[in-house]
Amino acid sequence: MRDAWTIATKDLRRRLRDRTAILVALVLPFGLAYIFSLTLGDIETRSFEATFAVVSLDSGHLPDEFTSLLESLDFVSLRDAATETAAETLASDGDVDAAMIFPQGFTADVQTGRGSAIHVITAPNARIAGLVAESLATSFASNLDATGLSIATVADSGAPVADTLTARAQAVTPGAEIRAAGAEDKSGSQSTFFAIGMAVFFLFFAVEFGVRGVLEEREEGTLSRLLVAPILPSSVIGGKALASFAVGLTSTVLLVIATTWLLEARWGDPLGVALLVLFGVLAAVGVTALVATLAKSTAQASAYVSIVAVVGGLLGGTFFPISQAGFLSTIRFLSPQGWLMEGFQELSYGGSAHDIVRPLSGVLTIALVSGTLA
Amino acid sequence: MDPSLVLECEGLRKTFGDRVAVDDVGFSIAPGETYGLLGPNGAGKTTTISMICGLLTRDTGRVSLHGRNLDTGTVEVKADVGFVPQEIAIYPDLTARENLRFFGKLYDLSKPELDVRIDRILDMIGLADRENERTDDFSGGMKRRLNIGLGMLNDPKLLVLDEPTVGVDPQSRNAILDSVEALAGEGMAVLYTTHYMEEAERLCDRVGILDEGTLKAEGTRRELISLVGEHDRLRVEAHGNVGAAAAAAAAVAGVDEAIPHDGSIELLARDVRGSLAQIVRAIDETGTGITSIEVREPNLEAVFLHLTGRALRDEGPAEA
């Protein structure tokens, strides 16, 4: 064991001097997690917001009801516009995303069944907000035939008409926003997902240098010197595995800390995370070692490991969530990355170590099988 | 098994598929003795020492160090062996001292003892002033010297050097040969493989001539040269059809061997001075121009030529 440790410390010293190892083990995964969180994460979670102007040329109460409806929506801000021309100017200048104009006599026309129209003017670069404005107005208008009675009924019951309309308007609120809000609770933040994904993805590259170390020693000519030394051949293998394990463990732990601190990622139960990291690093060492045994040179070993890391990473959902992706959601468990993502995400949802027994077992099985075969 | 001998090996055989790389090779080395394995590239030298050092499993044969069996995986016995591989085997991103320290730790040396040995080795190989520089900044000669220093670090009873001077500049080469001579003088047994006849003649107390995997002969320089008999060695520098000239010279009475090279012919002949005129005439008649003639005392090159019919540094005679 002491000889293996001597070899491992030598390898670690060399890796520290090799800046690419630090790049692959720490800088790249953290950097990508940060970039993905900033870009993809922002797109996914940013709330939809719109600024509308309502112009009422009508003296009745329906425009006020509609305004009340808009005021009740979190994503809508209102600007004042006294005239139709003022509203058109606001929209054309982009000061509002859309302006909705109630014509004179609107309330009376609707209540007497003569019908009327709400004019919606959309700003040139606010296509989505314009669609939302149209939807809201359409929803309001399409309910008015029935609401002629319902408004009266609701009014008689003493409940505000706006409540009913708000509920209906919510139904036409863009679904993505509702879904995004719902998904937030279950999947944790996007930064958490990408922190986990990048840590798992790059783990296999981080441990790779060690498992191809024997081939590297052979190419450098130092393997013969090691084998002539009074140590067991297994010490050489053990030293390489130990160094791989140390790098994988260190890089993953540092990534957990860094992404928690800097990206506000929520990894979850520390015990569960520790167990999963430990087993995950073992599996990564085992799988990459097994792959490296098929190679005849370090270049070939790197290529093989890269293929396994990338395919396994994609299959395991390190870049994109695939837990709902039908066939992929099943075969992802062929890869250790799939089990790791499952476990880490469960923890980030608020699960405990007890809840990740299945992914832990999956990862450990892969570690044992691949390590033994290697 | 003779425990007074540092190394004893016998009946070594190694095959790779159908090819016999080494067949029935055996020799022994006493303390303070330098034994040379002399042979051309591909003769089986590296395979032989790889079996001795435990890098290759042997098909048959026995190796012992001070009477103890030196098999693959025998950890304790290996501690008495120092090995200098043919290729430079050092870590380029570690300093000279870090390389020495790492390999020294594998020999279970205490830190103070290791420090003393590292300092001594660095002095011996002339790298004390560069000890903290990464070795990828070293010249080829410096790397070679460190390569040898690493083999001596454990103060071995048997030092095995596999062609340590290949690709080395003359100055470094001399330094290496001096080091080996000094080590043998201190009582270390040295197994030295080379295809340089001059190195074998300078360093080795005894030489084994290895060709095509078999030990053709072994003994001291004098014993080996006596195998050639009362032969003289003649080197003729020539231009023209050297192959035809060699064939013509070989037909002269008293000439036993005539090996054509690129621009020269090596001849072994009894009483070369008496037959010199006939040799010159025979070559001249082939239309080959002679530019110089040199008569030499027999040496190991001549022995190799005599034993194998081939020159030591060439894969085979030049095409006629």
Which residue would you say has higher pLDDT here, A124 or A46? A124
A47 pLDDT band, cuts 50/70/90, is: low
B92 contacts chain A (CB < 8 A): yes
CB pairs under 8 A between A and B: 62
Predicted model pTM: 0.66
Q: How far is B102 from chain A (nearest CA, A)?
A: 7
Euclidean distance between CA atoms B303 and B309, whole angstroms: 9
- β-partners of residue B19 are B16
Interface list for B 23-52 with A (CB within 8 A): 50
Residues of A in contact with B92 (CB under 8 A): 220
Judged by CB atoms closer than 8 Å, whether chains meet at B91 and A14 is answered as: yes
Q: Topology of A50-173 in CATH?
A: abc type-2 transporter like fold (3.40.1710)
End-to-end Cα distance, chain B:
49
Could you say which of A6, A14, A18 has the minimum Cβ distance to residue B106? Answer: A6
CB B91 within 8 A of CB A222: yes
Average pLDDT over residues A60-76: 83
Tell me what the pLDDT averaged over chain A comes to: 77
Residues of B in contact with A14 (CB under 8 A): 91, 93-94
Q: How far is B303 from chain A (nearest CA, A)?
A: 33
Quote the percentage of chain A above a pLDDT of 70. Answer: 81
Predicted local confidence at residue B184, as pLDDT:
82
* Domains defined along chain B, listed by start: 7-224 (3.40.50.300), 230-308 (3.30.70.100)
Structure tokens at B251: 């037909």
Within chain B, which residues score under 50 in pLDDT? Answer: 315-320
Euclidean distance between CA atoms A112 and B244, whole angstroms: 127
Q: How many CB atoms lie within 10 A of CB A203?
A: 31
CA dist B252 to A41, B232, B279, Å? Answer: 93, 14, 6
Judged by CB atoms closer than 8 Å, whether chains meet at A221 and B89 is answered as: yes
Residues of A in contact with B83 (CB under 8 A): 224-225, 228
B83 contacts chain A (CB < 8 A): yes
Q: Which residues of A3-20 are buried (b: 16+ CB within 10 A; e: fewer)?
A: bbebbbbbbbbbbeeeee
Q: Compare all CA atoms of chain A with the CA of B156 and give the residue at the minimum distance.
A: A229
Judged by CB atoms closer than 8 Å, whether chains meet at A6 and B105 is answered as: yes
Judged by CB atoms closer than 8 Å, whether chains meet at A222 and B92 is answered as: no
CB A282 within 8 A of CB A245: yes
Predicted local confidence at residue A31, as pLDDT:
79
A48 pLDDT band, cuts 50/70/90, is: low
Q: What is the 3-state secondary structure of B138-152?
A: CCHHHHHHHHHHHHH
Closest CA to B166 of B188, B186, B150, B143: B143
Predicted local confidence at residue A170, as pLDDT:
45
Amino acid at A99: A
Euclidean distance between CA atoms A366 and B12, whole angstroms: 44
Length of chain A: 374
Q: How far is B273 from chain A (nearest CA, A)?
A: 50
Which residue would you say has higher pLDDT here, A74 or A84? A84
- pLDDT tens digits for B86-133? 889 999 999 999 999 999 999 888 889 999 999 999 988 888 899 899
Predicted local confidence at residue A180, as pLDDT:
29
Average pLDDT over residues A67-83: 84
Predicted local confidence at residue B295, as pLDDT:
82
Predicted local confidence at residue B48, as pLDDT:
94
B106 contacts chain A (CB < 8 A): yes
- pLDDT tens digits for A109-155? 877 777 777 888 888 777 677 777 877 777 777 666 544 433 333 33
Predicted local confidence at residue B102, as pLDDT:
94
Judged by CB atoms closer than 8 Å, whether chains meet at B88 and A226 is answered as: no
A323 pLDDT band, cuts 50/70/90, is: low
Best of A223, A225, A231 to mutate (most B CBs within 10 Å, chain B): A225
Structure tokens at B302: 């001549």
- pLDDT tens digits for B170-215? 877 888 888 888 888 888 899 999 888 888 888 899 999 999 899 9
Predicted local confidence at residue A314, as pLDDT:
83
Residue ranges of the domains in chain A? 2-43+183-373, 50-173
A300 pLDDT band, cuts 50/70/90, is: confident
- pLDDT tens digits for A166-198? 444 444 333 223 222 333 333 446 778 888 888
Q: Which residues contact A313 (CB under 8 A, 6 or more apart)?
A: A197, A200, A201, A204, A319, A335, A337
DSSP string for A231-274: S-HHHHHHHHHHHHHHHHHHHHHHHHHHHHHHS------HHHHH
Quote the percentage of chain A above a pLDDT of 90. Answer: 8
